[in-house]
Amino acid sequence: MVMRAISSPLPSAPLTLEDVPTPHAAGPFDVVVKVAAAGVCRTDLHLLTGELPHPIPLVLGHENAGWVHEVGSEVTRVAVGDAVICYPFVSDGLSAPERSGLDTCAPTRLTPGISVDGGYAEYLLTNERSMLPVPPDADLAALAVLTDAGLAAYRACKRAASKLRPGDTAVIIGAGGLGHLAVQIVRALSPARIIAVDTNPAARELAVACGADLAVDPEALRQALPAGAHVVLDFVGVDATAAGGIAALDFGGTYIAVGVGGAVTLPLTELVEGEKHIEGVYVGTYTDLLEVTALALAGRVTPHVVRYPLEAANDALHDLAAGRVLGRAVLTPAASAHPSTTTSNEADHHV
């Protein structure tokens, strides 16, 4: 599914179904993955409407899982047929930031689905460093969403959990693709009381099903939180959620921004007299991905995924834009069965 133009507002068919050449593992550390599932992210909407710079034409899809299809001459850590999820940045690991785990800051990194072709396709070119092998019987559609939504949620929640003690309250703003995972991760990592905030009643129901003690509309947050929150995790990131999130902090509390789009403005008196902390979290490290995957494989974090056939990518994008996706949408190519099997899993596809 190829993006050939930038257009705002989102056109009815922003992507077109095309035959493109299958990528080849030409470099020694290249890996070609047969895509089992690609998550649909709000960033894809920002790419389509031109809010983020990128090349055109482009195959979107930066949240990918599948099976190794072809490896470069020097690849030793994965073999053809292995089930894998894909760390979202592709780099060689040699820069100073990468040596401390921060591939997010690697100066020469590529991001399939954003800077080069990604996983809204049957095959994806990535590299050995980005491979995270998973058990052969794992649900790759569920695990795919860990590589971006789960990764950023985990990094934010891990930081939050280091600050949360029994009796504290954590507020999670936005119970969508990231937020519904964050509820489960905070539950797994900390003893805090969890309040989820979302304008959508169905998302609030999902948050409670995921382990939130309470889920409220933004209007009702103050009433639900008389003593303030020790940590607020903002997965929406608009002006109103930043202002409301920072206002909801108790003395010494921390506001952690993950979603983007808005701005933080507050009187310094509020920052100083409340000894408030404001932090940002950007995606996550490979180690973060290992840890959140371990939680998922142990059954402590279960992504709620809505599956669409690859060729229905435009429906998934429009459903996401309209707030109709509960949890995370994933695209699955029609022939996305394990290479060693002969039957298609098309019967599993449903919208």
Positions touching Zn ion (CB under 5 A) are 41, 43, 148
* Least distance between Zn ion and beta carbon 232 (Å): 21
Closer residue to Zn ion in complex, CB, 41/229: 41
* Least distance between Zn ion and beta carbon 43 (Å): 4
Closer residue to Zn ion in complex, CB, 254/285: 285
Q: Report the amino acid identity of residue 191.
A: P
What are the angstrom distances between the C-alpha of 142 and each of 45, 287, 293, 314, 332?
21, 19, 10, 20, 11
Report the relative pairing of strands 277-280 and 249-257 from DSSP bridges.
parallel
Closer residue to Zn ion in complex, CB, 40/195: 40
Closer residue to Zn ion in complex, CB, 43/241: 43
* Least distance between Zn ion and beta carbon 50 (Å): 17
* Least distance between Zn ion and beta carbon 290 (Å): 19
Smallest Cα–Cα separation from 186: which of 202, 175, 199?
175
Distance, in Å, from the CA atom of 236 to the CA atom of 228, rounded to the nearest integer, reads 19
What are the angstrom distances between the C-alpha of 317 and each of 86, 325, 327?
21, 9, 14
What residue is closest to Zn ion based on CB?
A: 41
Closer residue to Zn ion in complex, CB, 66/150: 150
Decide if 169 contacts 233 (C-beta within 8 A): no
* Least distance between Zn ion and beta carbon 177 (Å): 8
* Number of other residues whose CB lies within 10 A of the CB of residue 333: 24
